[in-house]
Structure 1
């Protein structure tokens, strides 16, 4: 059972988790952990899943998925003849009129829908995965000459459950560097697995780039793949981008977007910081305010 804080209602809720019993068994039993290490975390397993989700036969999963997770399809663009496969449904686009971006240049927005944790005054050598488990920024991006730029800055971790909108966006106007890709495994990023596997974000497949933003300085973007994520697709073109522009999307599976900001450029909203200190994620929507300059 995963609880999160709903910022709109100011109440705690229970998250509907895709494959919850399977995840709990895999990450909590000796046999499950053996299967995880031998098969589930491997690239070939996610490729097989991705191949199926790209085939027309996978369309049969869509209606059940929508009903089970109470997805409001009125928010999303719908192809005239429907989705060709499950993956097309999974990385569906929001309707333009359903996109609400905080336009004030002093406001920092969420890059995606999901559940967020936020940390200020970070120690780049001991980033928090979950209580008692840490990793370094250098390990995360495989680069030790950039990490010092974010000493005592802020770290935002947005987890995208499988039922969420799976496109991610730019949080400010600016120019983004080319993407660096790092090969890795495909562990789940569900809180259950975060409690069991050390340094998941450093072990999983991931990609990173730097947005030279107009209002918040250089922002380090890290996209992390997870179990059954077929691909991380970058759709930006390394040219000038606008606040709210699409940066990319994930194919099937839960995933994570991590942002790093430099010291003293942004104050994260109080409720997010307070809930993170309690070990609770907050639900956020793409374009929603999460901090200010």
Structure 2
């Protein structure tokens, strides 16, 4: 059971996990762990399933998924009957009213919907993946010079599960550079997998870029792929100025993660999120929601 903190109700709720039994089998059973290492974590598995989710054959899954996980489809731009495939539904756009963004220049907002861990005053060589497991930012992006700029800074880790809105956004006005891509495996990013696979983020396929923001300095954006996420789409135009809340990109099917690194002394994340992180609980947030302030 995965518990997450709802900051609106100030209560904990149980996460609805798509494919829970499959995840437990893959990462907890001897046979499942062997098959995950031999095949499931590999690009071919996610690519084949990705082709299926892009095809009209997968359209029949849309209604079942909406019903099972109680998705509010009224927030989407398209009507339920208009989706042409499961991926068309999965990476759906929302109406402009669905995710209002706090446009105050001092407001630090969430880049997307999901479950949030935030770590302050980070040690570059021991960034927390989950309790007891850490990874290195230098290893994550394979660029020591850039990584060193974020020593003592803040790590904002947003996990998107399959039931979430799967587009990610810029948290400020500014300009984003070219995306750098690093090949890797396709482990799940669900907590069940994060607790079993050391340095999982450093092993998975990932992409990163530097966003020169107007109010929060240079922000390091990292997108991490996962099982069945055969594609990370970067929809922004490099080196072109963007507005706060503008779309940066989206993930195709599967749970995924976007990680932001802010330099030391730039912002302060709200205490409720920090406190829940220390307790080991992710905080549920939506895109554009205020999560902190500029210092």
In structure 1, list runs of 5 or more residues that go unmatched: none
Quote the Cα distance in structure 1 between the aligned partners of 2:25 and 2:254: 18
Aligned residues: 293
Tell me, yes or no, if structure 1 residue 258 matches structure 2 residue 255.
no
Quote the Cα distance in structure 2 between the aligned partners of 1:53 and 1:258: 25
Tell me, yes or no, if structure 1 residue 125 matches structure 2 residue 129.
no
Quote the Cα distance in structure 2 between the aligned partners of 1:195 and 1:28: 10
* Aligned-residue offset at 1:142: 1.0
Match of 2:141 in 1: 141
For each residue in 1:214-241, what CA deviation from the matched residue of structure 2 results, as whole angstroms up to 9, or x when unmatched? 0000000000000000200000001001
Asked if the contact 2:207/2:223 (under 8 Å) is kept, the reply is yes
* Aligned-residue offset at 1:257: 0.3
Q: Which runs of 4+ in 1 moved over 3 A?
A: none
For each residue in 1:234-291, what CA deviation from the matched residue of structure 2 results, as whole angstroms up to 9, or x when unmatched? 0000100110000000000000000000000000110000000000000000000011
Match of 1:279 in 2: 280
In structure 2, list runs of 5 or more residues that go unmatched: none
Match of 1:206 in 2: 206
Match of 1:100 in 2: 100
Match of 2:150 in 1: 150
Quote the Cα distance in structure 1 between the aligned partners of 2:97 and 2:37: 44
Instruction: State which drifts further: 271-280 or 80-89.
Output: 80-89
Quote the Cα distance in structure 2 between the aligned partners of 1:211 and 1:269: 22
Question: 5 Å matches for 1:14-93?
Answer: 14-78=14-78, 82-93=82-93
Match of 1:289 in 2: 290
Match of 2:270 in 1: 269
* Aligned-residue offset at 1:80: 8.9
* Aligned-residue offset at 1:92: 0.1
* Aligned-residue offset at 1:30: 0.8
Quote the Cα distance in structure 2 between the aligned partners of 1:213 and 1:30: 46
Question: 5 Å matches for 1:190-201?
Answer: 190-201=190-201
Tell me, yes or no, if structure 1 residue 247 matches structure 2 residue 248.
yes
Closer, same or farther: CA 84–193 of 1 in aligned 2, 3 Å: same
* Aligned-residue offset at 1:45: 0.2
Q: What RMSD, in angstroms, separates the aligned Cα atoms of the two structures?
A: 0.9
Secondary structure of the residue aligned to 1:155 is: strand
Instruction: State which drifts further: 81-90 or 108-117.
Output: 81-90
Quote the Cα distance in structure 1 between the aligned partners of 2:86 and 2:29: 30
Asked if the contact 2:73/2:80 (under 8 Å) is kept, the reply is no
* Aligned-residue offset at 1:96: 1.2
Match of 1:216 in 2: 216
For each residue in 1:23-66, what CA deviation from the matched residue of structure 2 results, as whole angstroms up to 9, or x when unmatched? 01110011110010011100000001000001101000001100
Quote the Cα distance in structure 2 between the aligned partners of 1:79 and 1:165: 15
